[in-house]
Amino acid sequence: MCHGTFPGHIEGDGMPYITAADGAQIFYKDWGQGQPVIFSHGWPLNGDAWDVEMKLAADNGFRAIAHDRRGHGRSEQTWAGNDMDTYAADLAALVDELNLTDIILVGHSTGGGEVVRFAARHGAGRVAKIATAGAVPPVMVKKESNPDGLPIEVFDGIREGVLNDRSQFFQDLSESFFGINHGTGISQGQRDQFWRLGMQMSLKGAYDCIKAFSESDFTEDLKSLDVPFFLAHGDDDQIVPIADAALKTVDLVKNVQLKVYPGAPHGIAGEYQKALDADLIEFFKS
């Protein structure tokens, strides 16, 4: 469904883009009509990771929108701006271009941090509800003020994997991402899609985003939120452990509902996806 042409909206190649504050071209998809639901993807994916949820939302009377974060997917592979503040500002530019209000935000993993930062800094009067799944915690990296965090060496290892052989690294990462090593039974096709989306990302965007998701501190952002917040997390998440993330976030957010999915991994697939999607639609309609 075409919603018209907006300032900074490019249609020359048949693909919709908006122009960010620094001129970067940000790709987005826009399906259906109704109250807008913006889906923000995790690392190393892009907006296609939310296709099933977008169709489900549009089929249920919502306008489903998903963008590719800069450096990811079809968005511009910028050298600069691969940081959480700029990601949130890019999302604000999208909201401005499409003139969106009464927004429901949905973020997975890094996208959870992005929507929280956007809501706290740009979303006043615009955001109606927030949902996150497997979202990065208040702070991910271990430091003096966050002694329970993961050591910086963990993230240095991810950086090394991305630089040395990111194709193999993404193939290997899909095993713990989807809990295949714990018997979740996710298909080879879903693992292949994870790899495919990861390989569409720029090397610079992939590398810089590791710092963005691991070192950004969302504590004050979370404290400032007062809209209904649905906080979803699998209790077998090997990428963003629930004890360091949702179980800390729940104490910071005012109007929050925590839903723990037994045995669920980090990646949204299989039985976890079916259960989460049903809960998301219920939350959207509530």
- What residues are annotated to the active site? 109, 237, 266
Residue 102 backbone class (left: φ over 0; alpha: ψ -120 to 50; beta: rest): left
Short-list 104, 131, 116, CA closest to 229: 131
Say whether 245 sits in a helix, a strand or coil.
coil
Short-list 115, 174, 107, CA closest to 134: 107
The verdict on whether omega for the bond into residue 44 sits within 30 degrees of 0, i.e. cis, is yes
Pairwise CA distance, residues 286 & 276, whole Å = 15
| Paired tokens of 20 | 């960010």
Residues 169 and 163 sit within 8 Å (Cβ to Cβ) = no
Listed in order, strand segments (DSSP E) in 127-275 are 127-133, 229-234, 256-261
Say whether 105 sits in a helix, a strand or coil.
strand
Q: Is 22 exposed, middle or buried (0-12, 13-18, 19+ CB in 10 A)?
A: middle
Residues 77 and 69 sit within 8 Å (Cβ to Cβ) = no
